[in-house]
Structure 1
Amino acid sequence: MLAWERFKLRRAAAEYAAHGWPVQPGSFLVGRRAGRHSLERRFDCGEPGCRTAACHPAPLPPATAADVVAGYWRVHPYTVLLPTGRAFDVLEVPATLGRAALLGDGFVAARGPVAVAPGDRWMFLVLPGHGVLPELAQQAGVVLHGQGSWVPAPPSPQLGGRVRWELPPEAHGWRPAEPYAVQAIMLDAIGAGPSFSSRQRATWRAAA
């Protein structure tokens, strides 16, 4: 079972790297069932004396080289982490905003890879280097992962379940979404959207 888990994660990491996405090994779940309804589980990065129990990077650098990535997963079933601020940023939002952006109003350019983490946190991979619209920044639970941050990637296990793709990267050619188009759709759905000109909307459609 452990070998199959490691193989599955290594295969996913290799696929991301093959498309130019840097990947980094993250700590992996260890522990045992402590009782009928609870688990004594934590994340282990392999670093002696590390006290961080939540998911965190292992002491290995990000890579895109196939041989390096494959070597990382030869022993441990590391969590697959995607560093942000390089190939893409990640806009992480609650499920209500996430579902709204997928339903949207037809902006093709707003579509890009979308992952969902346990706890119903939706993660939109968007073009890097952009901010969050003020109206969206005021909403609870909105986080922009940029330079120096990371997110766990499917099919990595987390406490409470696995990260999964809601909209897989291949659905739109492994391209990140246009960040402000995604945000505008979210805001429109909750009635808090700024006004965007027809020229802006046409530009988003043309970028698809």
Structure 2
Amino acid sequence: MRWTLRPFTSFERLRLRRAAGRFAGHGWPVTPGAYLAGRRFACDRAGCPTTGCHPADEHWERTASADPARIRRWWRRRPHAVLLATGHTFDALEVSAFLGLRVLGATRLHAGLGSTPPRVRGPVAVTPTARWMFLVRPGDPLRPELEERLDVVRHGPGSWVPAPPTRLPEGPVRWMVAPHECRWRLPDSYAVQAMLVDALGARRPATRALPRRPSTLHHAA
């Protein structure tokens, strides 16, 4: 599907600011990302070579915040992407659409049977490039079965993920499971990872031959 990019309006900037404020209101630290200008991101940092989605502040790890006044100031003039800083309140497990669909499908099937373990239900965001991000409780490393996979990335300290309604060149980031649907509760990381391992049992991966990349989200165009 091809998306037609539109210029940002004041209303969209307010939407981004309100979304950032909602996350902050639940203790989720946010940082402003570069803003979309055509099909590339701009951050007003002199000489910045990154054209993909990235933090607008060079020192974002120190300045990421849940302070409402700071958030209002950040989104006062620019339609910044809303980036959630991981490794504090939550981590994010970024996976392929194949794995994301299987895990969410299994969770909903068990919910229909009245047997969904509450520790696996949590917010899930999806990028327009079909990367699924399961927000989980922080601190747990990847299980050995997932650690060397190219299609599974754990975002912990020093990392971030884009949050809805951030718009990427390919389209908007959206919630597959919005935080309010699970009352802003975060699932146990190892419980979600166990479901990912189960999903992998349905398909044997090819032998890994490429170096591991940190994420498909964090790269320069």
TM-score scaled by structure 1? Answer: 0.84
Query: Which structure 1 segments of 5+ residues have no match?
Result: 32-40, 193-208
| C-alpha distance in structure 2 between counterparts of 1:50 and 1:138, whole Å | 31
The 4+ residue runs of structure 1 with deviation greater than 6 A are none
Structure 1 residue 183 displacement after superposition: 1.2
Say if 2:144 is the partner of 1:118: no
Structure 1 residue 139 displacement after superposition: 3.4
Other-structure match for 2:67: 65
| C-alpha distance in structure 1 between counterparts of 2:105 and 2:178, whole Å | 16
Residue type of the alignment partner of 1:137: E
Residue 126 of structure 2 aligns to a residue in which SS?
A: strand
Query: Which structure 2 segments of 5+ residues have no match?
Result: 1-7, 111-115, 203-221
Structure 1 residue 137 displacement after superposition: 2.5
Other-structure match for 1:158: 168
Give the % identical residues: 50
Other-structure match for 1:92: 94
| C-alpha distance in structure 1 between counterparts of 2:88 and 2:125, whole Å | 18
TM-score scaled by structure 2? Answer: 0.79
| C-alpha distance in structure 1 between counterparts of 2:30 and 2:19, whole Å | 10
Say if 2:127 is the partner of 1:129: no
RMSD of aligned alpha carbons: 1.6
Structure 1 residue 86 displacement after superposition: 0.2
> Contact 2:86–2:156 at 8 Å: present in 1 too?
yes
| C-alpha distance in structure 1 between counterparts of 2:46 and 2:141, whole Å | 37
Deviations for 1:81-133, whole angstroms, at most 9, x for unmatched residues? Answer: 00000000000000111111112253331011100012110000011010111
| C-alpha distance in structure 2 between counterparts of 1:63 and 1:130, whole Å | 22
Structure with bigger strand share is 1
Equivalences, count: 184
| C-alpha distance in structure 2 between counterparts of 1:124 and 1:136, whole Å | 14
Choose the corresponding residue for 2:30, options 23, 31, 49: 23
Say if 2:11 is the partner of 1:4: yes
